[in-house]
């Protein structure tokens, strides 16, 4: 695995690979890697890509300063994992490499409706930061395929919109399934911050999604939503949202509508730790 810290260096290395007809598969991450990230890498490998992973803890996408300060960092272990998974290139930039003119100067994008609901409504400025960093990383890496986890469903849609805004018609987004722990908890770097008792309860989010899914043909969504909210509250969670939406455009639905593809999405905090998850219905 070749490790680059400079944007210009990785850019010119990858440009040469593309000139030699090698296809680049890019996996952007913020580090604290887990099997979910490695599954993205494996997908890129099985698509025959030269695999490029980035580790960059992007300050502009954290609306909560504490969340940024406490975000787990484990660069040495991450490098080990990437080596074992046969990653070809690791891009490990500093803030200055990504934002040479400062974090205030970088252009931002308008994601419209997508930035007003769910994560957008609960984390103001978050998608602006995601758009900034992903836009910049795509400019540097210029991949053919971009591998993203379904766990961040709304982020995938925002990045798809970014692709449209930037006219990156050649870029293929590959959305890979969420990897889960035995109790259903979606793998996430933030899970490392859960205490043992919190970890025992964290699988409840997935159980809520499963019950929303199970009741889609017979149930009333508002009743299931209330049952889930009550259950989470009783166990000490504070629920930010439990929603169903059209899976193609994320338009929120008040009730089940089997004439459209549906996705159920959930966000809840346990202690200081915010967990999100989703399931296609």
Element (H, E) at 226: helix 221-234
Residues that bind ligand PAF (CB under 6 A): 28-30, 58, 61, 130, 133-134, 152, 155
Between 187 and 260, whose beta carbon lies closer to ligand PAF? 187
Between 126 and 225, whose beta carbon lies closer to ligand PAF? 126
Between 58 and 239, whose beta carbon lies closer to ligand PAF? 58
Output the residue with the shortest Cβ distance to ligand PAF: 28
Catalytic residues: 37
Rounded least distance, CB 55 to ligand PAF, Å: 9
Report the residue count for the chain. Answer: 281
In the β-sheet with 24-29, what is the strand arrangement from edge to edge?
Answer: 2-4, 89-91, 50-55, 24-29, 145-149, 172-176
Task: Give the three-state DSSP class for 239.
Answer: strand
Rounded least distance, CB 30 to ligand PAF, Å: 4
Between 162 and 264, whose beta carbon lies closer to ligand PAF? 162
Rounded least distance, CB 259 to ligand PAF, Å: 31
Please check whether residue 13 is in contact with residue 5, taking contact to mean a CB–CB distance below 8 angstroms.
no
Q: What are the residues facing 2 on neighbouring strands?
A: 89
Distances (CA, A) of 116 to 14, 83, 128: 36, 39, 11
Rounded least distance, CB 128 to ligand PAF, Å: 12
Rounded least distance, CB 77 to ligand PAF, Å: 16
Q: Are strands 50-55 and 2-4 parallel, antiparallel or unpaired?
A: unpaired
The DSSP-derived string for 133-178 is HHHHHHHHH--SEEEEEGGGHHHHHHHHHHHHHTT-TTPEEEEEPP
Between 122 and 213, whose beta carbon lies closer to ligand PAF? 122
């Amino acid at each position: 695995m070749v490790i680059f810290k400079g944007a210009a260096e990785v850019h010119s290395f990858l440009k040469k690979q593309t000139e030699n007809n090698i296809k680049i598969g890019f996996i952007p991450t913020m580090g604290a890697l887990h099997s979910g990230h490695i599954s993205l890498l494996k997908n890129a490998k099985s698509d025959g890509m030269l695999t490029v992973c980035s580790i960059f803890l992007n300050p502009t996408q954290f609306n909560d300063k504490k969340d940024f300060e406490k975000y787990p960092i484990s660069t040495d272990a991450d490098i080990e994992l990437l080596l074992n998974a046969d990653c070809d290139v690791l891009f490990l930039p500093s803030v200055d490499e990504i934002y040479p003119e400062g974090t205030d100067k970088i252009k931002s994008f308008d994601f419209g409706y997508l930035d007003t609901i769910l994560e957008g409504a609960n984390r103001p400025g978050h998608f602006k930061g995601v758009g900034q960093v992903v836009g910049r990383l795509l400019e540097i890496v210029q991949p053919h395929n971009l591998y993203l986890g379904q766990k961040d469903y709304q982020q995938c849609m925002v990045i798809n919109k970014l692709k449209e805004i930037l006219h990156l018609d050649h870029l293929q987004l590959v959305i890979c399934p969420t990897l889960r722990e035995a109790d259903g908890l979606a793998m996430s770097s933030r899970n490392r911050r859960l205490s043992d008792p919190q970890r025992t309860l964290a699988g409840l989010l997935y159980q809520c999604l499963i019950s929303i899914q199970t009741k889609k043909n017979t149930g009333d969504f508002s009743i299931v939503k209330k049952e889930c909210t009550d259950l989470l509250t009783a166990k000490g969670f504070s629920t930010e949202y439990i929603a169903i939406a059209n899976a193609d455009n994320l338009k929120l639905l008040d009730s089940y509508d089997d004439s459209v593809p549906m996705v159920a999405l959930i966000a809840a905090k346990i202690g200081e730790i915010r967990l999100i998850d989703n399931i296609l219905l």
